[in-house]
Each structure stands twice: as C-alpha cells, then as structure tokens.
Structure 1
Amino acid sequence: MFDATTIDAYLDTHDDDLMALVHRLISIDSQIPPYADERAIVAFLIEEVERLGLGTVTILGPSPERPSLILRMHGTGGGKNLMLNGHTDTKPVGEARDEWNTPPLEATVKDGIIYGLGATDMKAAIAAMIYAAVALKETKTELRGDLVIGMIADEEAGAQLGAKFVAPHVTDVDAILIGEPSGWEHDWQGIHLVSRGVCCFRITVTGTQMHSSLSDRMPSVNASVKLANLMVGISDDLSLPFVPHPLGDVGPTLNVGVMIEGGTFFGVVPGRAEFSCDLRTVPGMTKEEVAEGIESWLAACRAADPDLEVTYAFEPSLDWIPWSELDATHPLVAATQRAAADVLGEAPALQVFPGGTDAPWYSQVGIPTLPSFGPGVLTCAHGPNEFVSQESVRQAAKMYARIAADFCA
C-alpha cells in the first residue's frame, strides 16, 4: 500500500512549482508546422526532468524536427509498467487570434483559471504527470514497475510522426493512460474507455469556368452552387452502418464543410469548388464501409443531376485514424476509478471520448490504453480563450500519482 496523505501533502507544498510548470509549457510555442514544432518544448522538458532527477530519457521521432520524449522512472522490479501519455503539440491559434482576451502564448490566471494555448489540450496534463512522478520519488513511494511518461509529438496533425511512430518502440509497458481533457461541461465528467476514430475526406465539384456575364446566354455549371446542394444534403443522405456504443448509446459524428474552397474572382463562373468533411467513427466501423457509403451517395446524386461532375478523396494522414477501446475490466480502469473516488469523492462514469486520441496507435501494437482521463474540458480546445482550472490540475497530479502507485505495485 502507498501513503496517499503523504503524496498529497508533498503536492500541496509544491503547488507553486506545479503551476509554474504549466505556465512555462504554455509559453513555449509548439503549434503544429508550419507555425512551429515540438523541438523547443522537448528541449525544455529534457532539462526539467533531468533537473528533477526523475529517470532516463529517450528521444524518438522520424526526424529531429518532430521529437517525442520518453521518460522512464525505474521501479524496484516485479511490477507492471505504466505509461502516462500526453502530446506536446497544439493546434494553431488560427483565424480566431483576435478573439483571444489574453495573449495565447502567455499563461494568464483569472479567478483560479489558467488561460493560454494548449492549457487544457494538453500541457496541464503533462505538468501534472511530471509532478505526480516527482511526488512519488520525493515521498519514496515504492513502485515495483516502471512509471513511464510519454510526451509525444504530432497528435494534432494525425500522429503519423508522433504516436504512430513511437508506439512500436514502447512495447515494454503494460498499459497506457492518456491525459486528454475528460470533461465537456465541467472537469472530470468521465473516464473515457473509448476514443472515436477520425476519417477526413474532400468532396470536389467541377463546373464551367467562364465569363460570368454570359451565364444567361451560354450553358454553364456553377461549381459552387452544385457544391452547396451537396453540403446541404450529405448529412441526411449519407448512410453509414454502425452500432451505437453501449457506453452512452454513442454513434459517429459528421461535420460538413470544415474547410471550403472555390471560385476564382468576381466576373468568373466558378469552375471548381471543394468542401471537407470530418467524420468521427465508433467501434466496428471500417474505412471500406465509409468509402462504400460515400460512393453510393455520390452515385445517387449524379443520377438525380446529370450536370453534376463530382469526385471524392480521403485526406492523406487523416484518412483513417482508428477508433480505440479499453475493456472495462482492465486493472488500469479499476486503479483509475479508485484514484478518482479518493480525490474527487466519486469516480466519474465510464464514457466514450468525443474525439480521437493517440490511443489507437498503442492499442494496435497490443498495449491496453485508456484514451482520456485528464484535467480540463474539451469544449474550449481548438478555439480562442482555451483554459484549464488550477484545481483540476492539482487533482490530476494527485490522481496520476495514486494510479501509478496502485498499478505499478
């Protein structure tokens, strides 16, 4: 058994250090390329974990520009190895920069809330993981198994250069917990055993590019108008087979027009238009069935409109990020529930995570992975004024320390 009271007391005493680390990580620009990359944040994290004396570090990645950091704190032997996983990259600030009330790359605290890019997705979780490890080390809590912390690149752009690359190299862990924000209305809303998959595709319409003044005299096809009709119809008419997941009766989501392109300039009938779709899949769905569904829908659209010239293509690297699922009877689930009940007073319900995570890349190489249990709410991620509550960061560190001490025993 471990002494949770001693662990909590250490973390309470070093709360300023934990919060300072969250602030420092937010201040380091790790937006996905071409805006930035993970080199600066990984360089800082190497210095930090070595300063704290936490264990050995390994850098993995397909190139020096996209590094992932693996920290291993060695146990005494004979126990199970746990990896706590977080991604170091963020989405771009994007076109919402003017909507930020505070500087995105500067942590700002107001009424117990930390604002900044990556605050909830997911730099706060990484800081909490590190200080959970520090607390275990400094309180001399015995771990028989190893505690591993994965600080991974490229999650926000599809994980091809991050978790997908890293997963085959970390098979010496028995289970993984990912610290993605596990609330959407409030902190700690669920222990997420399932992450949806991601399937992105583009629909492209070809029209007649010509002088717009002649559209009443010469035959023409306005690609943008045809595209608009398809955008309106796809949500209702695209049929994809799925079985609702028993955890919440959850199905897939289709977001239409996440990007739109088309037309040349005033005076020109649009000769090409394109819209992009973001499909989030649930366990049991396959890429082949999605392709069949799109092809069947487009065939019906062409039959109804002989002037329609349309094609589709899956987005490279985002064409199929698999869904992932952890069995509810796995020991990591029980350890997480015990930690949550101890810190929060009650364990959150088992849920399906709304989005995709790094989980499938690990589960595909045989590592049981819990896709999401972390501080913050997903609702504010990928948009302006991203935030995380200081209290949820404190709770995360205490729960991660308990989970590691329990599982690695």
Structure 2
Amino acid sequence: MTATTTTHTELIDGYLDAGRDELIELVEQLIAIDSQIPPHADERAIVAFLSERLTEFGLGELSVIGPSEERPSLFLRMRGSGGGRTLMLNGHTDTKPVGEARGLWTTEPLDATHRDGNIYGLGATDMKAAVAAMIFAARAIKETGTPLRGDLVIGMIADEEAGAQLGAKYVAPFVEDVDAILIGEPSGWEHDWQGIHLVSRGVCCFRVIVTGTQMHSSLSDRMPSVNASLKLAELMTRIGSELELPFTAHPLGGVGPTLNTGVMLDGGTFFGVVPGRAEFACDLRTVPGMTKQQVAEGIERWLEGCRAADPELVVEYSFEPGLDWIPWSEMDAEHPLVAATQAAALDVLGEAPPLAVFPGGTDAPWYSELGIPTLPSFGPGVLTCAHGPNEYVSVESVHQAARMYARIAVDFCG
C-alpha cells in the first residue's frame, strides 16, 4: 500500500469514526420503514426515504428503475475522474415478512432496539445494515476527497426476498458500464465475516400435489376412499432420502444441494370430510452444474416409483412460478474484486475470511448471467437470524462493513 493510499485510508477511517452514531441511526431509520414482501410488495416508502437522504448527502446521480411505481429499485452513481474500473455495491431494500413468528419476537420488529452490542429489528442483517454501510462508505470517499478513476455505483434493489422477478432480474439489463458487483448479503452464520462467498446456491421451488377421494368421513369404513393427507404424509417422509439428483460437490467446502421439505402445507376441507386434495412445498438449493431439467427428471423418476408401488396414489408436481429456477452464481477466485475484498478484510479484520459458498440464493445470477462478474455475499451480520424472530446485526460489524466497502471501492475503482 502506497503512502498516498495510506493517507486516504486514514482520512476515510477518521470520517467514519466521527460518523459512527449517524451510520447506526441510518440503520435504525431503514429498519423502521416497513418493506415486508409479502404482504405489501411495495418498496416506495424506503426508496423515497433513501432518495431524500442521498440527495442531502450530494453523492451523485440518482435513478429509479422498476416494472411499476410500487416496485422501484434505486441507483446512485458517484462519478470518478475517468479511465478506471466501475464497481457496484448491491443491497436489497425488501425483507421477509414477520409472519407466524410474531409472538416470538422480544422487541417490536420495526422498532430498532439495542441490546448487548446488537441492533434488533426486521431486516437488520438481511440486509438494511449493509445498505447503510455502503452509503456511508461512498460518503466517506466523497467527503475526504479520496480520488476514484472509475465510478462507484450503489444499487438498492427491490423484490430480492420473493425471487427477484421484479427486482434484480428486471433491472439487470439496465445496469450499464459496471465492471463488477459486490453484494452485501450477511456473510456469517456462526459469527460475523465467516467467509468471502464466491458462490451463491440456486433456488428451485416446487409443490407435490396428491388427489384423494373427497367424501363424507363417516363412510370411510364402509366405502373405498383415499385420504389425500395420509398419502401426502408418506411422501413427505420419503422424498428427502429417496429423491436422487445428480450434482458435483463444490470444491469450496464440498457443498452440495439442500432439500427443505414441507416449507408449506395445504390440504383438507373441514371436519366430516375425507381430504380429497393435499400438497406440500419443497425448497431446493442447488449448486453449480445442476440444471432445472435434471431436477424435473429426478422428481418424475421418484414419483413414477411411488405410483408403481401404490396403485391408489394419484400424485403430480409443479414448479412454483417465479421461483421455479433461480440460477446459481459463481465468481472466479482470481478476479480483481476478490483480491480487493481480501485486502480490505485483512486491513480491517486482521485476516481475510476464507473463500466459501453462500448457503442461500442472492441477486448475483441475474447480473452474472449478463456477463457482469458478481461476488454474491460479503456483508455484516449472520444469516442464522434472518427470516425468523429477533433478527439482529452487531453494531461493530456495521462499522467494519463501511470501512471495508470504502477500501474495496478505492482499490478496485482507483
């Protein structure tokens, strides 16, 4: 690192240290804005707030892209002097819903609460803290006069939590003059900064539907009937051990696919009625090399065997629209953005986390499929508490994120 770079790094750290409280306040303000999808499927309020704050900060050009007024994604472009590489820091503004876990929250989900060095609130780790840290990284670069040759772009994207059809998948073709993207998804599961994730697994969601005999339940001992729910229960207990899908374990940790059975259940009409229809939903996380056709063939082979073993079984499956196939994504370990991320982590954390596979899906494939190298996950927080009650992010990890994002941008764009 040159003397000039060291000076700018010190200035950036000094600026971020002085603005620690303001950064955390921004995280709190973002948590307070309801951007759950479902049920609302509307990011207008959080985009309006971010647009106002970014205009106040005077960081650069703002643009809004979306398929409808209710589903906006916001972009900030901070222009460099020219001749350098352009980096986009990417975060999503929506959250999963509080859902049936509402009674398990010990705080109000939309009211940021501090406890034991953590900020509790819906979207704290997934991923409003990262969005705030990205904004403050850009602000620190601008306010300290740190030169960038390339542009720094921040993408604040809608609809990630529902499959990205109206978010990253929609906006990706409009992303221009960007050489690489870093996504700030939480990169720990047991502790902060557990990995620099070069791979995000894909998502494939499907339903298994059983048809039975809907009839008066008092006659089930006198007339032939098929209870769809009982047939379904048997299939649910078998699919995990019997469904065979070809894959090659990824060399980063030997990671393979994960099948989550029964993420949703539906069936039956009411008391007094033999269930004539029942279904369960499955959430499959895929790894590089797997295809939707392979999954479809594997499911059909398994169902054919189940039908052959039980002549009474009437069963079919269907892929979930919009979540039928979210591709996996992978970044080359030799890409300059990886080196910049490792260097920033080493400087701020004292060591660079290992290269790894992100457990879930991200917005990465929608960019990488269009030829933009994308690092799927390097952000504050732990994935363990996301999508459930008492979501939190550590205050320290938010400050670390801002410092590292600034360094990554200066390295990559400078």
TM-score range, shorter chain: over 0.9
Residue 280 of structure 1, aligned match among 279, 285, 292: 285
Q: Are 2:113 and 1:108 equivalent residues in the alignment?
A: yes
TM-score, normalised with respect to structure 1: 0.99
Partner of 1:30: 35
1:158 Cα offset (Å): 0.4
Please show how residues 215-230 of structure 1 align to structure 2 within 5 Å: 215-230=220-235
Aligned to 1:205: 210
- Distance in 2 (alpha carbons) for counterparts of 1:378 and 1:34: 22
Distance 1:30 1:236 in 2: 37
Tell me the TM-score normalized by structure 2: 0.98
312, 315, 327: which is aligned to 1:310?
Answer: 315
The structure 2 residue matched to 1:80, chosen from 85, 89, 94, is 85
Q: 2:123 maps to what in 1?
A: 118
Alignment partner of 1:164: what SS?
helix
- C-alpha root-mean-square deviation of aligned residues, in Å? 0.6
CA distance in 2, matches of 1:28, 1:346: 35
Residue by residue over 1:106-143, the C-alpha shift from the partner in whole angstroms, topping out at 9 and shown as x without a partner, is 10001210000000000000000000000000110000
Does structure 1 retain, via aligned residues, the 8 Å contact 2:39–2:97? Answer: no
In structure 2, give the amino acid aligned to 1:246.
P
The reply on whether 1:239 has 2:236 as its aligned counterpart is no
Paired with 1:34 and 1:111, the residues of 2 have a C-alpha distance of 31
C-alpha deviations, 1:158-179, integer Å up to 9, x for none? 0000000111111310000000
Cα drift, residue 277 of structure 1: 0.1
Aligned-partner residue type, residue 84 of structure 2: G
- Contact kept, 8 Å, 1:35 with 1:92, in 2: the verdict is no
Cα distance in 2 for residues equivalent to 1:326 and 1:366: 11
Which amino acid is 1:367 matched to?
I
Identity across aligned pairs (percent)? 78
Cα deviation, residue 36, structure 1: 4.8
Corresponding position of 1:21: 26
For each residue in 1:309-357, what CA deviation from the matched residue of structure 2 results, as whole angstroms up to 9, or x when unmatched? 0000000000000000000000000000000000000000000000000
**2:259 is the counterpart of 1:254:** yes
Tell me how far apart the structure 2 counterparts of residues 27 and 388 of structure 1 sit (CA, whole Å).
15
SS at match of 1:260: strand
Indicate whether 1:335 and 2:351 are aligned: no
- How many angstroms apart in 2 are the aligned matches of 1:260 and 1:35? 22
1:320 to 320, 325, 329: 325
- Separation in 1 of the partners of 2:189 and 2:38? 27
- Report matched runs for 1:1-400 at 5 Å: 1-2=4-5, 3-400=8-405
CA contact (8 A) 2:41 2:70 kept: no
Q: After TM superposition, what 4+ stretches of structure 1 lie above 3 angstroms from structure 2? A: none
Partner Cα separation in structure 2 for residue 163 and residue 57 of structure 1: 17
Return 5-14 or 298-307, whichever deviates more.
Answer: 5-14
In 1, distance between residues paired with 2:348 and 2:259?
Answer: 36
Aligned residues: 409
Tell me the alpha carbon deviations over residues 72-106 of structure 1, each in whole angstroms, 9 at most, x when there is no partner. 00000000000000000000010111111000001
- Compute the displacement of 1:286 (Å): 0.1
Task: Look up the SS of the partner of 2:122 in the other structure.
Answer: coil
2:412 aligned with 1:407, yes or no? Answer: yes
Cα deviation for residue 39 of structure 1 reads 0.3
How far, CA to CA, are the matches of 2:318 and 2:38 in structure 1? Answer: 23
Counterpart amino acid of 1:200?
A: C
Matched to 1:79, the amino acid is G
Deviation at 1:5, TM superposition (A): 1.4
CA displacement 1:41-78 (0-9 Å, x = unmatched): 00000000010000000100000100000100000000
Check conservation: 1:171, 1:365, Cα contact below 8 A: no
Tell me the CA shift for residue 369 of structure 1: 0.0
SS in 2 for 1:250: coil
Contact 1:121-1:181 at 8 Å conserved across structures: yes
Q: Which runs of 5+ in 2 are unaligned?
A: none
Is 1:326–1:369's contact at 8 Å kept on the other side of the alignment? yes
Amino acid at match of 1:355: G
Note the residue ranges of structure 1 that are not aligned, 5 or more in a row. none
8 A Cα contact 2:186 2:380, kept in partner: yes
The CA deviation string for residues 357-390 of structure 1, in whole angstroms up to 9 with x for no partner, is: 0000000111000000000000000000000000
Q: C-alpha distance in 2, partners of 1:288/1:342? A: 44
| Letter of the structure 2 residue corresponding to residue 38 of structure 1 | E
Pairwise CA distance, 1:35: 2.8
* AA matched with 1:379: T
Task: Give 3-state SS (helix, strand or coil) of 2:215's partner.
Answer: coil
